[in-house]
C-alpha cells in the first residue's frame, strides 16, 4: 500500500506535535497535583487489579466515584512503558487530535493543504497543549474521541453508524463530559430546525441514541452522586467559598489561551456558516454554542469548556481561511499571494505556538512539585506512622497523598467528599488565624499530625505566628515548603 503525500505530511505533523509535547513534559520527572491522583488510582489497579472506590488517604478516608476506564488504559500501558506511561500515553492520545482535525477540516472544505495546516494548528492550541502535558489528563483521550464522533456524525451513513455507536459508548464510559457532545448535537438540531434545514432521519436517530446512551451510562456510574446531590450534582460538591471562582469565565485569558487569531477566524467561520446555512459548520456551531451556554450558565468549568471550544474554533476557522484564500485568488495580487498567505498562516501558527510554549515552560516549572517538595514528602513517608494526617492547602492535597502516601484533610476531588465547604474554611482558617487556640481546635478536629506550608500559602496569608510555639510544634523542614510536626 502506498502512502499518499498528504498522509506522509500528516504523520510528520503528528510526530512534530508529539515531540514538542514530549520535550516539555519530560523536563520534569514528576506529575502535577491532579496527575498524582490519576497515578495513585492507576497504581491501585496495577497492584490489586481493581479500581479504588474507597480512598483511605483523601479527606481522611472517603468514597470516590469515577469511571476507571482511563486508569485501566494507563495501567495496561504502564506494564510496557513503566511510569513513563503516565506522560507518554496521554501525549500520544492528545497528539492523535491532529488526525481527527485533519479529517474534519477536509470534510468541511475539501482542501488538502488547508486541512493539513489546520491539523498542525490543532497540535499547538495552548489549552490542549497545557492540559495534557503533565497531569495524565483523561482529556487527552476524551478530546480526540469526542471530535472523532463529530466527524462520524457529520456525514453519517449505514457504515458509520456502528462506529458511532461504539465510540459513543467509549466516550460515555470515559468521562461525564460526554454530555457536552449530546447537548452539542441537540443545539445543532435546534439550529438546523430554525434554519428550516432537515438533518435527515439517520442523524436524528444517531443523535437520540447518543443522548440516551450517554445519560444512561452517567446515571449508572454516578448514581450515588445523583442521589446525594440531586440536580446540584452539576456543581460536583465544590466548596461554596470557591464556587464563584471555580466557574469564573475570563474572556481575555480565553483569547490568549485559545489564540487570538484562532478565536477570530473560528468565530467568523461559525457565524458565516450559520448565515450560509452550511450543515457541517452548523454542527460545529451547535457544539460551540452548547459549550458557550454551559460556560455562561456556570455549569461547566471554564478550563474544560475552553478545551473543547478551542478545538471547535480551530476546526471552524477552516471555513474562514478557505473563504479568505478563495477571495485572495480573485484579487489583483497574484504575485504576492503566496507570500501573503504564508505571512497570515505563519501569524496564526505563532499566535498558537508561542503561548503554548510559554505556558508549557511555566507550567512545568511552577505546577509540578520541586525536588525539595519531593524530598520533604518522601521524608514524611519514611519517618511517620501509616495513618498520619497532613494539613495542606487545597491545591496540594493530591500531591501529598500521591508522594507521601499520607492522609490529607482535603483535595480538589470534591465529588462525594465529606463537608467540603467546612473543611475548606477550616484549612483557610488554619493558615490565616493568629490564634493558636483556634489552630489547635482545627488540628484536633482533623487529627492533624503534620502541617505542610508551601511558599504560596505564606505569600497569601503571611507568616504563621502560632507555629513558633515549640511546646506544640516541632519544625522538621524550614525551606520552601516548611513542615511542622504537631507534638502537643
List contacts with other proteins (CB under 8 A): 158, 161-162, 165, 200-202, 205-206, 208-209, 212-213, 215-216, 219-220, 223, 226-231
Q: Which is nearer to other proteins, 163 or 323 (CB)?
A: 163
Contact call for residues 464 and 431 (beta carbons, < 8 A): yes
Q: Report in angstroms how near the CB of residue 165 gets to other proteins at its nearest.
A: 6
Q: Which is nearer to other proteins, 7 or 193 (CB)?
A: 193
Contact call for residues 290 and 180 (beta carbons, < 8 A): yes
Q: Report in angstroms how near the CB of residue 169 gets to other proteins at its nearest.
A: 9
Q: Report in angstroms how near the CB of residue 231 gets to other proteins at its nearest.
A: 6
Q: Which is nearer to other proteins, 206 or 368 (CB)?
A: 206
Give the up-direction half-sphere exposure of residue 40: CA atoms within 13 A in the CB hemisphere.
Answer: 25
459: buried, middle or exposed (CB in 10 Å: 19+, 13-18, 0-12)?
exposed
Q: Which is nearer to other proteins, 230 or 386 (CB)?
A: 230
Q: Report in angstroms how near the CB of residue 299 gets to other proteins at its nearest.
A: 16
Alpha helices in 65-177, H assignment, sequence order: 69-81, 85-95, 97-109, 112-122, 126-131, 139-154, 158-174
Q: Which is nearer to other proteins, 2 or 201 (CB)?
A: 201
CA 275 from centre of chain: 32
Q: Report in angstroms how near the CB of residue 7 gets to other proteins at its nearest.
A: 30
Local structure of residue 89 (DSSP, 8 states) = H
Local structure of residue 2 (DSSP, 8 states) = P
Cα gap 488→482, rounded to integer Å = 19
Q: Which is nearer to other proteins, 226 or 466 (CB)?
A: 226
Q: Is 485 helix (H, G, I), strand (E, B) or coil?
A: strand
Q: Which is nearer to other proteins, 206 or 377 (CB)?
A: 206
Cα gap 310→259, rounded to integer Å = 8
Contact call for residues 429 and 77 (beta carbons, < 8 A): no
Cα gap 405→371, rounded to integer Å = 17
Amino acid at each position: 500500500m502506498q502512502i499518499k503525500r498528504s498522509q506522509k505530511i500528516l504523520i510528520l505533523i503528528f510526530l512534530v506535535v508529539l515531540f514538542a509535547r514530549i520535550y516539555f513534559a519530560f523536563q520534569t520527572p514528576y506529575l502535577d497535583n491532579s496527575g498524582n491522583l490519576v497515578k495513585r488510582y492507576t497504581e491501585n489497579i496495577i497492584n490489586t487489579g481493581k479500581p479504588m472506590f474507597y480512598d483511605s488517604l483523601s479527606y481522611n478516608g472517603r468514597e470516590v466515584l469515577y469511571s476507571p476506564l482511563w486508569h485501566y488504559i494507563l495501567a495496561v500501558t504502564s506494564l510496557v512503558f513503566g511510569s513513563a506511561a503516565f506522560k507518554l500515553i496521554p501525549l500520544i492520545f492528545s497528539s492523535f487530535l491532529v488526525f481527527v482535525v485533519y479529517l474534519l477540516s477536509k470534510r468541511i472544505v475539501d482542501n488538502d493543504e488547508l486541512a493539513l495546516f489546520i491539523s498542525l494548528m490543532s497540535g499547538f492550541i495552548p489549552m490542549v497543549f497545557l492540559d495534557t502535558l503533565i497531569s495524565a489528563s483523561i482529556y487527552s483521550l476524551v478530546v480526540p474521541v469526542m471530535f472523532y464522533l463529530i466527524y462520524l456524525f457529520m456525514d453519517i451513513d449505514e457504515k458509520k453508524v456502528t462506529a458511532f455507536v461504539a465510540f459513543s459508548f467509549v466516550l460515555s464510559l470515559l468521562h461525564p463530559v460526554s454530555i457536552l457532545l449530546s447537548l452539542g448535537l441537540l443545539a445543532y438540531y435546534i439550529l438546523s430546525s430554525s434554519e428550516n434545514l432537515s438533518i435527515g432521519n439517520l442523524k436524528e436517530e444517531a443523535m437520540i441514541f447518543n443522548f440516551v446512551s450517554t445519560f444512561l451510562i452517567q446515571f449508572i456510574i454516578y448514581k450515588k452522586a445523583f442521589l446525594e446531590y440531586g440536580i446540584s450534582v452539576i456543581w460536583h460538591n465544590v466548596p461554596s467559598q470557591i464556587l464563584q471562582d471555580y466557574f469564573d469565565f475570563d474572556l481575555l485569558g480565553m483569547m490568549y489561551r485559545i489564540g487570538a487569531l484562532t478565536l477570530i477566524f473560528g468565530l467568523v467561520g461559525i457565524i458565516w456558516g450559520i448565515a450560509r446555512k452550511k450543515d457541517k459548520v452548523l454542527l460545529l456551531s451547535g457544539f460551540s454554542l452548547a459549550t458557550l451556554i454551559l460556560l455562561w450558565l456556570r455549569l461547566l468549568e471554564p478550563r474544560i469548556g475552553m478545551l473543547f471550544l478551542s478545538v471547535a474554533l480551530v476546526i471552524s476557522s477552516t471555513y474562514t481561511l478557505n473563504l479568505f484564500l478563495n477571495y485572495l485568488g480573485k484579487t489583483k495580487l497574484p504575485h504576492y499571494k503566496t507570500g501573503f498567505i504564508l505571512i497570515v498562516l505563519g501569524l496564526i501558527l505563532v499566535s498558537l505556538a508561542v503561548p503554548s510554549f510559554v505556558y508549557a515552560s511555566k507550567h512545568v516549572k511552577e505546577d509540578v512539585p520541586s525536588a525539595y517538595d519531593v524530598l520533604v514528602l518522601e521524608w514524611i513517608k519514611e519517618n511517620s506512622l501509616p495513618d498520619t494526617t497532613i494539613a495542606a492547602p487545597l491545591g496540594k492535597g493530591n500531591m501529598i497523598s500521591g508522594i507521601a502516601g499520607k492522609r490529607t484533610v482535603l483535595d480538589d476531588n470534591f465529588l462525594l467528599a465529606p463537608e467540603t465547604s467546612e473543611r475548606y474554611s477550616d484549612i483557610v482558617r488554619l493558615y490565616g488565624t493568629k490564634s493558636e487556640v483556634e489552630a489547635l481546635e482545627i488540628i484536633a478536629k482533623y487529627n492533624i499530625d503534620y502541617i505542610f506550608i508551601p511558599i504560596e500559602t505564606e505569600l497569601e496569608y503571611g507568616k504563621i505566628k502560632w507555629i513558633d510555639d515549640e511546646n506544640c510544634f516541632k519544625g522538621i523542614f524550614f525551606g520552601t515548603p516548611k513542615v511542622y510536626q504537631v507534638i502537643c
